[in-house]
């Protein structure tokens, strides 16, 4: 039998539950302004309304999963979890995420130019499978362009 | 009248503004074309650099990037079958088959000319309708603004994706982000989680750079090693006979583009889809079937998406409401420079309106020049490997965010929004509605509370006003119809009509 129902992506249900949780948190935060039932014209009325809308939308999204199905190859929750990791936690995505966070932290310690040069050089070398010299040259040229463009032309403050 | 002409020609006669518009248009074509870069991303990052600029300089550059960027997406759609921008998705349907048939040059030439025709048509309609609409908007009560903003958010959520619930969640999330900070009326902290640093609110440019820059960069990591197929490009300038043949379809598509572009929250992507659908329905016997390289399938979306640029400026300049994500950023640029987007803009600073109109026409002239030339250099530039592009996008996002307030905490927020945006994008949520929610949310809050205050906080009187005032009644009816259109009531009504027929 041909099943044309929309497929649920690995991890989608968990994410949608997290959104519901987030919306609940927002309702709690909104209720701290003027209570859970604020008067019609108060600072808390709109935030509470928005949080309720988000909760309802999240519930509808969760309910819509009834009309979707898993990929036939993913029979168990464990399979789905493995597929989720394989899709979103590929080495090049993890490396970029980790180095992005490290780069932002390093800006305060090493200065913007040094940390940017190191970040770009490492990323270029990693993604281009080596090519050390050309990666260093491209990183150096990029830093020079950033300096000329943002410091001399746009005259903005750099970190 | 003389003043109007003077303002209109400002960018045409000032070499500095002329250069900025030209640079913006040329840069926009490349930004729009390079998959992974988007006009919204570029304008979001750029706005933070232009804080200290003269407003005319900033607007000239942004208008150029906007016009060039909307067009630029079509180039890679035709050459590589990778739409550089969402507004060029439909262009790829027939553009890429044309390129495969060896007609890439002709397809690029025709899309350039049609984009310019659409762009100029959109600007003419903007110039003709905006002053009239602004005059009318002066009569609007706060509740009317409230209704228009609600309608805008509803349209964003209904038209911007496959799932209405996801669309509504996105706009509500955006509006909640827009409300973070101190309440302007009572000075009460709202949604700050007790964090003092959030009392000043979250700068929406930080959210924009995170969602459009960082999230997109992370998302593009999935296509890191995609190798584009090269095409042969020649005979770019289309014959006049060909242009004239498609002119009626182009005009119709242009009008669709302006109308769709003018709806708050809808931009070139939806305009091009509507126009493509119109072309498919109205052109009965195309020489080549749609989807297999029909020129009509190229003309309609390309005219419509550039016409939508002029359309998107209409609500922005007359009501202070963004027509799409890019005009949402431009509203921010106007506010930062002390201007007041909305009906008062025409009265207080008419030069900004006519300068923008003149600048849009000028950008379209540059679009014609740059669109028909330099294709060979272009094909090399757009092949920049993502391995180089993606880390550079992150660096630009850091620079752009830091330059807003010289605050590293905002840079961390930007990365946080980027990561959150990545996951939202992965699971089918769109970024545009969130940004429009950030802009329209506080506007709805303010106008709603003003409207409530004007009726002595009486909910009954507020509801009564919605149906007794003619304009409010029209707007309320449209909102109800849009809502009903999303329920089974529409299918029931359609079924009843069919049975009666």
Q: Show me where the domains of chain A are located.
A: 6-88, 91-153
Beta partners for residue B190, in sequence order:
B181
Q: Give the distance from residue B245's alpha carbon to the nearest chain A alpha carbon, in angstroms.
A: 42
Q: What is the pLDDT of residue B444?
A: 87
Q: What is the pLDDT of residue A1?
A: 45
CB spacing of A29 vs B191 below 8 angstroms: yes
Give this complex's ipTM. 0.91
Q: What is the DSSP string of B110-132?
A: HHHHHHHHHHHHHHHHHHHHHHH
Q: How many Å separate Cα B197 from the centre of its chain?
A: 31
CA–CA distance, B447 with B184 (Å, rounded to integer) = 12
**Position B227 in a domain:** no
At A17-60, the pLDDT tens digits run 999 999 999 999 999 988 888 888 888 999 999 999 999 999 99
The conformation of residue B39, written as its DSSP 8-state character, comes to H
**Helices (H), ranges, B337-407:** 343-348, 350-371, 375-381, 386-405
Same domain, B488 and B429: no
CA–CA distance, B403 with B330 (Å, rounded to integer) = 17
**Position B10 in a domain:** no
Given CB atoms, is A108 within the 8 Å cutoff of chain B?
yes
Supply the mean pLDDT for chain A. 87
Same domain, B484 and B362: no
Q: What is the pLDDT of residue A97?
A: 92
* CA neighbor of B393 nearest in space, from B217, B208, B161: B217
Given CB atoms, is B225 within the 8 Å cutoff of chain A?
no
CB spacing of B399 vs A26 below 8 angstroms: no
C-beta of residue B10 within 8 angstroms of C-beta of residue B50: no
Residue B467 sits in which domain range? 463-501
**Span A129-156, mean pLDDT?**
86
**Span B117-139, mean pLDDT?**
89
| B121 vs A67, more confident | B121
CA–CA distance, A57 with A39 (Å, rounded to integer) = 23
Same domain, B387 and B369: yes
Report the chain B residue with the minimal C-alpha distance to residue A54. B169
How much of chain A, in percent, has pLDDT values that exceed 90? 48
Report the chain A residue with the minimal C-alpha distance to residue B168. A57
Considering only the beta carbons, identify the residue of A41, A57, A120 that sits closest to B172. Answer: A57
Same domain, B487 and B346: no
Same domain, B446 and B472: no
CA–CA distance, B401 with B331 (Å, rounded to integer) = 18
CB spacing of A9 vs B426 below 8 angstroms: yes
**Position B115 in a domain:** yes
CB spacing of B169 vs A101 below 8 angstroms: no
Same domain, B430 and B469: no
Contacts of A122 (CB under 8 A, 6+ apart): A99
**Position B4 in a domain:** no
Q: What is the pLDDT of residue A88?
A: 84
| A25 vs B290, more confident | A25
CA–CA distance, B142 with B448 (Å, rounded to integer) = 7
C-beta of residue B111 within 8 angstroms of C-beta of residue B302: yes
Mutate to test the interface with A, among B154, B176, B415 (most CBs of A within 10 A): B176
Contacts of B355 (CB under 8 A, 6+ apart): B7, B8, B10, B11, B56, B59
Q: Give the distance from residue A72's alpha carbon to the nearest chain B alpha carbon, in angstroms.
A: 19
Same domain, B147 and B259: yes
Mutate to test the interface with B, among A9, A55, A156, A158 (most CBs of B within 10 A): A156
**Number of domains, chain B:** 2
Report the chain B residue with the minimal C-alpha distance to residue A136. B388
Same domain, B189 and B63: yes
CB spacing of A33 vs B388 below 8 angstroms: no
Given CB atoms, is B417 within the 8 Å cutoff of chain A?
no
Same domain, B349 and B428: yes
Same domain, B361 and B499: no
Rg (CA), chain A: 24
Same domain, B319 and B268: yes
């Amino acid at each position: 039998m041909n099943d044309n129902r929309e497929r649920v992506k690995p991890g989608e249900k968990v994410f949608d539950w997290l959104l519901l949780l987030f919306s609940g948190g927002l309702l709690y935060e909104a209720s701290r302004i003027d209570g859970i039932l604020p008067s019609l014209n108060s600072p808390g009325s709109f935030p509470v309304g928005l949080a309720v809308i988000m909760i309802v939308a999240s519930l509808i999204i969760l309910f819509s999963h009834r009309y979707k199905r898993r990929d036939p190859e993913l029979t168990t929750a464990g399979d789905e979890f493995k597929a989720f990791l394989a899709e979103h936690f590929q080495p090049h995505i993890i490396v970029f995420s980790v180095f992005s966070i490290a780069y932002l932290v390093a800006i305060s310690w090493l200065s913007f130019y040094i940390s940017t040069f190191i970040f770009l050089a490492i990323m270029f070398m990693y993604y281009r499978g080596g090519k050390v010299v050309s990666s260093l040259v491209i990183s150096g040229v990029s830093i020079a362009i950033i300096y000329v463009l943002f410091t001399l032309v746009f005259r903005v403050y750099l970190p | 009248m003389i003043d109007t002409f003077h303002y209109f020609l400002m960018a045409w006669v000032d070499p500095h503004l002329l250069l900025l518009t030209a640079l913006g248009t040329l840069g926009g074509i490349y930004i729009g074309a390079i998959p992974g870069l988007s006009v919204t991303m570029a304008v979001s990052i750029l706005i933070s650099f232009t804080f200290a600029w003269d407003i005319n300089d900033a607007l000239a550059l942004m208008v150029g990037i906007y016009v060039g960027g909307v067009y630029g997406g079509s180039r890679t759609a035709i050459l590589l079958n990778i739409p550089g921008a969402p507004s060029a998705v439909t262009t790829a349907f027939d553009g890429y088959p044309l390129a495969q048939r060896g007609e890439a040059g002709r397809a690029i030439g025709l899309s350039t000319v049609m984009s310019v025709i659409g762009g100029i048509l959109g600007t003419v309609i903007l110039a003709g309708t905006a002053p009239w609409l602004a005059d009318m908007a002066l009569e609007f009560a706060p509740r009317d603004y409230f209704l228009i903003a609600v309608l805008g958010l509803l349209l964003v959520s209904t038209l911007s994706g496959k799932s209405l619930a996801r669309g509504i969640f996105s706009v509500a999330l955006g509006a909640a982000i827009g409300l973070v900070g101190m309440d302007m009326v009572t000075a009460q902290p709202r949604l700050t989680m007790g964090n003092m640093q959030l009392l000043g609110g979250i700068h929406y440019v930080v959210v924009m750079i995170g969602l459009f820059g960082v999230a997109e960069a992370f998302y593009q990591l999935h296509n890191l090693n995609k190798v584009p197929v090269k095409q042969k490009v020649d005979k770019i300038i289309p014959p006049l006979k060909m242009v004239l043949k498609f002119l009626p379809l182009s005009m119709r598509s242009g009008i669709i583009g302006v109308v769709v572009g003018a709806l708050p929250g809808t931009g070139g992507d939806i305009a091009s889809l509507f126009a493509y659908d119109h072309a498919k329905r109205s052109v009965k016997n195309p020489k080549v079937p749609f989807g297999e390289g029909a020129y009509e399938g190229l003309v309609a979306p390309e005219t419509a998406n550039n016409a939508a640029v002029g359309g998107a400026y209409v609500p922005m300049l007359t009501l202070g409401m963004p027509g799409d994500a890019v005009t949402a950023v431009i509203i921010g640029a106007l506010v930062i420079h002390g201007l007041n987007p909305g009906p008062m803009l025409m009265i207080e600073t008419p030069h900004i309106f006519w300068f923008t109109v003149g600048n849009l026409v000028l950008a379209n002239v540059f679009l014609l020049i740059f669109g028909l030339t330099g294709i060979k250099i272009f094909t090399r530039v757009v092949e920049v490997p993502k391995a180089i592009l993606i880390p550079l996008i992150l660096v630009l996002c850091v620079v752009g965010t830091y330059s807003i307030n010289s605050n590293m905490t905002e840079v961390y927020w930007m990365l946080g929004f980027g990561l959150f945006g990545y996951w939202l994008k992965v699971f089918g949520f769109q970024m545009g509605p969130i940004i429009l929610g950030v802009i329209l949310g506080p506007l709805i809050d303010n106008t709603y509370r003003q409207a409530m205050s004007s009726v002595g906080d009486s909910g009954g009187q507020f509801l009564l006003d919605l149906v007794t005032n003619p304009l409010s009644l029209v707007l309320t009816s449209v909102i109800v119809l849009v809502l009903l259109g999303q329920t089974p009531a529409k299918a029931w009504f359609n079924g009843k009509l069919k049975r009666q027929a």
